[in-house]
Chain A
Amino acid sequence: MNVLDEVLTRARSLVDRWEDEDCGTVTVKDFCRYAAALNDADYIDRARNREATGEPVEAPALFLAATMSWEDGPPERELRPDGLAARESPCTMGLPVRQVHGGQTVRLLRAPVAGSRVTASRAVTSAERKQGRSGAFVLLGLTTRFTSADGTELTAVDETIVVMEALDSPGAA
């Protein structure tokens, strides 16, 4: 079995197995640091002004969707050689592969507000072997649903991950 077949086998065993992840209580600082990485000083001013007057502070629109993991860790020794953690790379631990995002669809249903606790429910939804111009790859489909403590759905994300053999792998294109 080659590397991509192994990825496919692992992924198919995970399809539709939903897992919940506690994202914790989101804060104004979380939002502002995210905005700062986008050079959005206006957001930071607005958010801090609202916080100072006791008004609700909504997250930047794609804050939940863009955050890759809500885990505390893992420590570096537990990362894949490419820096990804098992949580972000559910089917490839120990395998010589490269991976990139294929694309995303994000639906914004209700903005998360600072002080609210958020849960992410996530599953692999599809796994297909494909042939592209630069060789074979596995296309993984993932879905994440973010909800608040009262069950209100906040953000829904469907994304695809392209998994290819490592360039120095014997079977790589």
Chain B
Amino acid sequence: MNPPVAGDICPPQRYTHSTVQLFRFSAVSWNSHRIHYDAEFAASEGFPGAVVQSTLHGETLTRYALAWAGPNSRLETASWRNRTTAVADEPLTWTATVRTVEGTRVSLEVAVLKADGTPCVTGTVHIALV
């Protein structure tokens, strides 16, 4: 990878979270909120399916950022805001743009988008290139 510069656009990553993954992530993070694994209950709260956990979005935002930055990178901070709900099996796309580069520190503006481009989550990830 060439040294990053502000304005660089990272290659987008397309993915889905399966129902099984949402259940396993809830289990391993001791999150028993039923909206994340009980689609019928989620529907009773107005959601179209089992809801992707905020912290799972956080994992996606940061993991793709670290994969883009390479093996010698380390996560320093991550900040994200949930804008609309994503659900199990929904096609999602991770996007990122380099916002700043200061020495070995790179900040990315990141987002998770729905198929129509609506942002589910937006945020910032700070990475150290070590």
A residues lining the B interface (CB < 8 Å) = 33-34, 36-40, 61-62, 65-71, 79, 82-85, 88, 98, 100-108, 159, 166-167
A-B contact count (CB 8 A): 103
Whether A102 contacts B28 in the complex (CB less than 8 A), given A38-B59, A62-B55, A62-B62, comes out as no
10 residue pairs of the A-B complex, CB under 8 angstroms, read A37-B21, A38-B25, A39-B21, A62-B59, A66-B58, A71-B30, A83-B35, A100-B54, A101-B53, A103-B123
Contact B55 A66 (CB under 8 A): yes
Interface size on B, residues (CB 8 A): 37
* C-alpha gap A69/B79 in the complex (Å): 20
CB of B102 within 8 Å of the partner chain: no
Contact B58 A70 (CB under 8 A): no
CB of B14 within 8 Å of the partner chain: no
How many Å from the CB of B72 to the closest CB on chain A? 14
Cross-interface CB contact of A37 among B28, B32, B51, B66, cutoff 8 Å = B28
* C-alpha gap A85/B33 in the complex (Å): 9
Contact A107 B76 (CB under 8 A): yes
Cross-interface CB contact of A66 among B24, B29, B66, B75, cutoff 8 Å = B29
How many Å from the CB of A108 to the closest CB on chain B? 6
Whether A68 contacts B58 in the complex (CB less than 8 A), given A100-B82, A103-B79, comes out as no
Contact A66 B33 (CB under 8 A): no
How many Å from the CB of B88 to the closest CB on chain A? 14
Closest A residue to B32 by beta carbon equals: A83
Contact B82 A105 (CB under 8 A): no
Binds A, one of B5-13, B38-46, B89-97, B107-115: B38-46
How many Å from the CB of B82 to the closest CB on chain A? 6
How many Å from the CB of B93 to the closest CB on chain A? 18
Contact A37 B25 (CB under 8 A): yes
* C-alpha gap A144/B80 in the complex (Å): 16
Whether A105 contacts B59 in the complex (CB less than 8 A), given A82-B41, A83-B33, comes out as no
**Could you list 15 further interchain pairs (A-B, Cβ under 8 angstroms) beyond the known A66-B58, A68-B31?**
A36-B28, A37-B24, A39-B21, A65-B58, A69-B30, A82-B35, A98-B45, A102-B82, A103-B79, A103-B80, A103-B81, A104-B55, A104-B79, A106-B79, A108-B75
Closest 7 CB pairs of A and B: A101-B54, A103-B81, A66-B55, A83-B34, A105-B79, A37-B24, A68-B31
Cross-interface CB contact of B32 among A85, A107, A108, cutoff 8 Å = A85
Contact A106 B58 (CB under 8 A): yes
CB of B77 within 8 Å of the partner chain: yes
Whether A33 contacts B28 in the complex (CB less than 8 A), given A66-B58, A84-B33, A103-B123, comes out as yes
